[in-house]
Amino acid sequence: MIKVSNTSENMTGRFQNEPPCTGNRNLPLKTPKGTRDYGPGAMALRQRLLDQVVRVFRKHGAVPLDTPVFERKELLAGRYGEEAKLIYELQEQGGEPLALRYDLTVPFARYVALHNLSFMKRYQLAKVYRRDNPQPARGRLREFYQCDFDIAGAYDPMLPDAECVKVVCEVLHQLDIRAFVVKVNHRKLLDALLEVCGVSAEMFRTVCSSIDKLDKMLWDAVREELILQKGLQVETVERIGLYVTLHGGLELVDRLTDDTKLNSLPRAKEALDELRLLFQYCALLQVADRLSFDLSLARGLDYYTGVIYEAVLVGGDNDDDGTQAAFVGSVAGGGRYDNLVGTFNPHRNQLVPCVGVSIGVERLFCIMEARTREEPRTNDTQVYVASVHKGLHLKRLEILNRLWAADISAEHSYKTNPKLLDQLQHCEQCRIPYAVLIGDGELARGVVKLRNVSTHQEEEVELEMLIEKVSSQLEKLLNAP
């Protein structure tokens, strides 16, 4: 439980009834379990990752959206199946019961229903919270970012779904993730095969949550869980095993089409037709080679109704530094959820079908962090204004203001009389490309020196032409191969 204090702040800035600071030196300075700090270097790397993801989302026509970090608890209840136990509930403080958002999908569906929308293509980058068992080395945290891309609206089958698969593949290509596969399945097909195997309808979801563990556990372990914990008959579990251990491509769709027991159920036939169409569209989008039809994929969330997919890193793709991507596992997932919006607006005559995908930024960040051999640049400063002699800090401020007015990122020392060597070392450490050196002799002649920090080359520039010269040099730097 997370408790929010009701105490009020007094005029001195301290809270009433708050004990004075004891100066306890034994207080452990660490982040809460399942969270981490991101320093400037990590943030620079994360921002680069997020920028690449957003560029893909925007290229596909999505618009940005943001929703509150917490929702009404009753709104989240019953949406996540067995995963609901991982929701952080906020302690009620005399108002409405609240909980931290578990994902971005349910808040998006609530937004569509609240605003009575019929269609929307949106992306959202935001933190979500899960009371899970953290594994920081694998990017599994309790507080983490999700990057979601969703299409809401009644469209022809599999066109939006295929685009979501394309978006996932483009994001992973942009991030240079070489060995990955997008596993696909269909919830209607999964329900149909469970029915064929003799599982009762009320057991579908709990059985699916066990099947979904096959990416982490062997079939024998899942089999034991289904028998001992879920109470299924051995014969039923053996029949399930014949299906959920299958994986392949379009040929598996054809093989299941010939399964007379499955095709006696209309929803199984509908699901196989949609999967065939998905493979066809993905072939035209040149991502079909990334698809793997995997009957063990279940995605335990209750709101999925159709095609589901999950991008996973596969073994054998060792980076140059020996990092094996297979240890990270799933890096994206999603699917179709046609009924979720309707649960928030039951009086609406027309449903708003939706399909979407969520990119696992934390896990991708772990890969990028392991691959990075040098500390990324943490600032965007383009020019450093340095003084050669004492008593020139006023002139530094004047030149600095000119650069800022020209929208050039610039900085200087906060000492009135800094040492020149310290200033130049700062430029090199922060990888600032150019330095403007000002001295008494040069200023008397109306010039300054422009120094290329990496090559140490210097040239005199008339002070009145400084902005033009700096802009020209920065443009060359930007266009350099």
Q: Binding site: what residues are annotated?
A: 103-105, 130, 146, 150, 299, 303-304
Helix (H) / strand (E) element for 291: namely strand 291-294
Rounded to the nearest 5 percent, the helix, strand and coil shares of the chain are: 40, 20, 40
Q: Are 276 and 255 in contact (CB under 8 A)?
A: no
269 & 400 share domain = no
30 falls within a domain = no
141/169 same-domain check: yes
Q: What is the DSSP letter of 9?
A: B
Confidence at residue 20, expressed as pLDDT on a 0 to 100 scale? 53
Domain extent, residue 253, equals 40-316+325-371
Tell me, yes or no, whether 303 and 389 share the same domain.
no
pLDDT digits over 163-172, tens only?
999 999 999 9
- Please give the pLDDT value at position 253: 94
**pLDDT for the residue 8:** 40
Binding site listing for L-histidine: 103-105, 130, 146, 150, 299, 303-304
Walk along the chain (481 residues) in steps of 10 and give the mean pLDDT of each run. 42 48 70 86 89 96 96 87 85 84 94 94 95 79 92 96 97 89 94 92 86 86 91 91 91 92 91 96 96 88 90 65 50 94 81 94 84 81 95 96 96 96 95 96 95 95 95 88 67
Distance in angstroms (rounded) separating the CA atoms of residues 129 and 25: 31
Is 246 among the domain residues? yes
Per the listing, tokens 């309808």 go with 201
Q: Does residue 275 contact residue 249 with C-beta atoms inside 8 Å?
A: no
Report yes or no on 27 lying in a domain: no
Tokens 């006696």 identify what position? 264
pLDDT at res. 85:
86
Domain count, the chain: 2
Q: Examine the domain organization and report whether 271 and 420 are in the same domain.
A: no
Contact predicate 118/350, CB 8 Å = yes
Closest CA to 190 of 37, 308, 345, 90: 308
Are 351 and 204 in a shared domain?
yes
**Do 329 and 442 belong together in one domain?**
no
**Within-domain flag for 141:** yes
